[in-house]
Amino acid sequence: MNNSRLPPVPKDVLAALELLPRAVIDEINLKGVISGGLRLLQNPTKPLTEEEWEEHLISGGFERMRLIRLAVEELGLKEEVDALCGSRSDGTRR
C-alpha cells in the first residue's frame, strides 16, 4: 500500500486520545471494528483490491476521528484539547 495517500493524524485528535477515558476509546474502537467488518462482509467471496483496501482504511480512519471529536464535544473536553494541541478543536489557531 502506498502510505503517501494516508493523511497525518490531526493534533486535536492526538490530544483527545490523551484525554478521553479508556472506556470511551474502547467503544470507538469497537464501533470501528463493527463497521469495518460489515463493509468487508458485504461481499465475503470477493476480496478487496489493494485500492479498495486502502480506501477502506482511510474512510475508517476518518470515521474514527469523527467519533473521537464527537466524544470530546459530548464530554466537554474541547478546552483541554485546545490547550494540549495549541489550536482550537475547529482547526483555527489561537
Residues of the chain with pLDDT under 70: 1-5, 87-94
- pLDDT tens for each residue of 19-45: 999 999 999 999 988 888 887 788 778
Name the CA dihedral angle for 37, 23, 90, 13, rounded to a multiple of 10 degrees.
-70
Place of cell 476521528: 65
pTM: 0.79
CA angle 64, 48, 30 (to 5 degrees): 30
Give the domain ranges of the chain: 3-85
